């Protein structure tokens, strides 16, 4: 079982594309390795696989500089901001995967 807390910490510390993080995240979700830390499309696809049934919203903070991603299912809401859209998406995914089952 993947350590989503540790993966979340690595996502927060990431500055951009990270091939090892790509590998670890994709393996944790059980999909083929894609450049999820660099590609919005790949990160969105990983979120769809890793958080099925969750509603995704992507936007920018009040300054307009930093992207955020929010995932909502019923009354449960998580969000994450980062320096890039893919990292924000992955941060939100890590938070969902860390929720109690």
**pLDDT tens, position by position, 25-68:** 999 999 999 999 999 999 999 999 999 999 999 999 888 889 99
4-98 maps to CATH 3.30.2120: yes
Domain ranges of the chain: 4-98
Instruction: Please report, rounded to a whole number, the percentage of residues in the chain having pLDDT higher than 70.
Output: 100
- Average pLDDT score over residue span 15-21: 96
Separation of alpha carbons 25 and 20, rounded Å: 9
Q: Hey, what are 92's tokens?
A: 């939100």
Average per-residue pLDDT for the chain? 96
Q: Rounded to 5 degrees, what are φ and ψ at 69? A: -130, 135
Please tell me whether residue 30 adopts helix, strand or coil conformation. Answer: coil
pLDDT for res 61? 85
Packed helices 40-50 and 19-29: angle between N→C axes, nearest 10 degrees: 30
pLDDT for res 13? 97
Say if residue 70's pLDDT is above 90.
yes
Say if residue 101's pLDDT is above 90.
no
pLDDT for res 1? 76
């Amino acid at each position: 079982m993947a350590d989503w807390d540790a993966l979340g910490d690595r996502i927060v510390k990431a500055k951009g594309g990270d091939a090892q993080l790509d590998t670890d995240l994709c393996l944790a979700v059980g999909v083929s390795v894609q450049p999820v830390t660099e590609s919005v499309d790949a990160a969105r696809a990983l979120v769809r696989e890793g958080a099925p049934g969750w509603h995704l919203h992507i936007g920018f903070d009040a300054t307009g500089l930093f992207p955020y991603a929010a995932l909502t299912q019923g009354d449960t809401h998580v969000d994450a901001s980062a320096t890039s859209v893919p990292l924000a998406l992955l941060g939100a995914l890590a938070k969902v995967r860390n929720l109690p089952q």
